[in-house]
Structure 1
């Protein structure tokens, strides 16, 4: 049975039995600023007293207008139009719908195939899940997802965790570029691969091919966007501007349901009516209360230069994790960017997932929260992605608890003294 949460404070969550847990994975890698940030909660209280909801076709709101301005200012290139939703799944669904409608508007209805990657994860709604390379989360849903016949996958070479340039080029050629409506890619992996970054050469090549053939390049930055990887956006590491960028999780840092789809000006203006009337939307999307939370969050990110802080803290945490990997044979590798990090694990071939779930349970016993990831034995891992506001002391406490958690799974390597004692018995 799960504990009942009582309250949160910074990187800590407390249950009703008085136990404290260090939030080593930011919930689901979304509470990027930690818990109980007054600069955010006070703004939400103010908005709560003013108005919580106004329907998107009847009103906009000041916080929503300001949030849109900040997002488009931060975004690279001409990503100048914003559509809002409530979750990353909904925002990915919106992006896929946009790609389909964009080509239909230009009398290219046949250009509707969506190319994605395995492993990948884009959300739990039907279209987003169909576009995900995550067999575990699709299990049992084939009757629902079978209608998503326009989705194709690119897979990595044996022994690799993500596809390389040649694999992507081959997949696009097999589909035939004139049939391809969009490529959707995670600049840094999440639930499926465990924080494996895309090769910057892949992102740059996809940008070139999108420009040549006219398909849309969609960056799923639900997890990696807004500072998590040490830059504002995961695409920044490759210097690539996508046609569509999907934001979630960190946009309101767990304080309210909110996500956004940023669209290049050339695409948003290709229709004979405003983009909001093309895409429709969800009842609660961009409601004033969520917008106030999002605006306060993004202003906090800017004021405290959180991406730079995540870069510095990520280097420190990575060094701590690499020290653990050297001592614990169950750890295969340390991967990721910024504070979107993961431990790749040597999986139990008889049960997958297995080792990751064992480690998460062991960590919980040590008062540490981790996030299990991976789709098979090759990708099994746990994400270590604490709030971007974590101090060095908090990161070191995380490493201490993780060290004890790993020791619950595998005995510590024998010392020379241990071996001498064993040799005498």
Structure 2
């Protein structure tokens, strides 16, 4: 895309109009229209015969400006070709913000065509593309309803994803899960019309550090026999948001050629209700051998993740990361925009939070507070899957899963929402990416491409 053929989007910080080096006529036009760089404001710049020759975009006060502030421009500009001018900070994140703000989910209805942005001259265009593609992959999957993304369809999506990137993939499906010792994945998904399964992807050199990603892939969650309310089920198509974000992260890792031996494990189930659904009070024996009393069938995500984490842990990876839309308690504590981060390595957690702040993909560390382990005690099994008393629900879920990780050099659990209830810069309302840029930024620093 030639910049000669595209319109400029001139980014102006609030109160810095005089420093924007505008043509005198445009400067006077901005003054006449009260434009002073206010956050998110767009002002069309007139040319000859009434044509629009560009736009001013207000980025607001620098101290309060998120890195993806250009998402507000991408969300509101009409279709067309654009390039950036002015003061916009990190050129990669500026372009990523613009393009993610212009995201549209158009599978089921016509949408207005999105504006197109040329990569800034100083930016790594390939890096912009991979970060946008990673987020769009996650968003499209989360936004797709369960009738078009049940376990069968999700497996096919993953197989196509792997094939396009030279990633090896295998699957264990249905009763074969029992033979392969994944009893909790099987128990959670056996009542659905489409059988449960575990997808196992691998990529990279065997000699490189082992990084394993695990994503919760519940394609729909009724709550099981502890059934959710109608309102509680409305967004349960997004219960595979952990798997969607893990796939987006895997795309970025592979596209960048990071020096890791990557493994991706995605347990896929629908938590349905039928005559063979697992029940409150059942005791399941996990892959690790721990017995689990079912205190609540709606705490199913941690069950399927436990079997997958146990498998991942068996080869002692250098870094084990899971992503899951796991608890409403994390949203109560931190809201929809800030995923809860748990880790067995506090230094790693700090590095991840710093990477998230740089990439406008924030995370917040929560404690693996061991005294709360007692909330999951059981009189007949090693552990109960649901904490008692209603307190610290996100922490007890993380503590439950920690029991299944013992060999990994470091483990990270991200309790994400994968949904934006309200639009904000770079994140339109709906299914969204959480944690991809933060984790990718850390991995890129630790394991750069050779």
Band of TM-score, shorter chain: under 0.3
Name the larger-Rg structure.
Answer: 2
Higher relative contact order (CA 8 A, sep 6+): 1
